[in-house]
Amino acid sequence: MNVYRAETIEAVRAALQPRRHQTRIGFVPTMGALHAGHARLIETARRECGCVVVSIFVNPLQFDRADDLARYPRTLDEDLALCDALGVDVAFVPAAGEIYPVEPECTVDIGRLGEHLCGRGRPGHFRGVATVVLKLFAIVGPDTAYFGEKDAQQLAIVRRLVADFNLPISIAGVPTVREPDGLALSSRNRRLDACGRRQAVSLYAALQHARASIARGATDPHTIAAEAAAVIPGGENLRLEYLELVDPNTMQPVPRVDGPVLAAGALWVGDTRLIDNVMCDPARAGG
């Protein structure tokens, strides 16, 4: 393997030191279980930067449930092989004790950006995300960091983190990669059985319904969301946690759709929680 595996902060900093100021450092933070969505992030970084760093770290601070953390898929050997195949220079694979030698006293307060969508159902989740992202930025010191648009609320929080803390890092959002039927790629999809996999695509269908309503001129967010939610079939195995229309920058619900909005949802398929979103623009034909 050509990819250099760094397990300590010291090792990753030492590996990047000679490259810094000579080339752009592109950074893709991940929790592993890499799939084609991550590959798209890495390929984008590879095209734009002379040196590409991928971190693989399942961050305990962002899990609100111990069972979810325990069951999060871990596929390190395959992940490293993919990084190698995609020409990643450095894979940063720290143990939990390297990132959190002691429980942190100082964490990032993400304010109103975490009030809705996933922030409401997963208390403390985005505080954990923003805290580890800030730490990883401080360790890697990238020029550009790449995040998937599937995690739209996370992306909005990271953009705001960088702006509010004056970090000299550009944040690149990379479009969601989907299966042919529309299901957004996610590390959690591998937990679905065949029936759950068929049901899972109903979240995307519901979001597309919202998008079509907006394209036809609908403006009341509650009606749009309720009609979209009705697309999801009833049944014991499916539970819609939320489907909301929010401002794409502030992540606050809109009182009326009179500009671009993000339709975002979270669906439980059995005990697997999936999220997705689509941008809806009433000014553009087709939403």
- What does the binding site for ligand PAF look like in residue numbers (CB under 6 A)? 29-31, 59, 62, 129, 132-133, 151, 154
Which residue number, 30 or 277, has a Cβ lying nearer to ligand PAF? 30
Are 206 and 224 contacting, i.e. CB atoms less than 8 angstroms apart?
Answer: no
Angle, helices 221-229 vs 202-215, to 10°: value is 140
Q: Closest distance between ligand PAF and the C-beta of residue 179, in Å?
A: 19
Which residue number, 142 or 221, has a Cβ lying nearer to ligand PAF? 142
Residue 59 vs residues 157, 161, 175: alpha-carbon distances, Å: 17, 18, 23
Q: Helix H segments across the chain?
A: 9-16, 36-48, 66-71, 76-85, 96-99, 118-121, 125-140, 152-164, 194-200, 202-215, 221-229
Q: Find the radius of gyration of the CA atoms of the chain.
A: 19
Q: Closest distance between ligand PAF and the C-beta of residue 131, in Å?
A: 9
Instruction: Assess whether 38 carries a catalytic annotation.
Output: yes
Q: Closest distance between ligand PAF and the C-beta of residue 67, in Å?
A: 18
Q: Of the listed 35, 38, 125, 209, which one is catalytic?
A: 38
Which residue number, 44 or 62, has a Cβ lying nearer to ligand PAF? 62
Q: Closest distance between ligand PAF and the C-beta of residue 74, in Å?
A: 13
What is the largest distance, in Å, between two alpha-carbon atoms of the chain?
57
Label the pairing between strands 4-6 and 144-148. unpaired
Which residue number, 131 or 213, has a Cβ lying nearer to ligand PAF? 131
Helix, strand or coil for residue 153? helix
Please give the DSSP secondary-structure letter assigned to residue 253.
B
Active site residues: 38
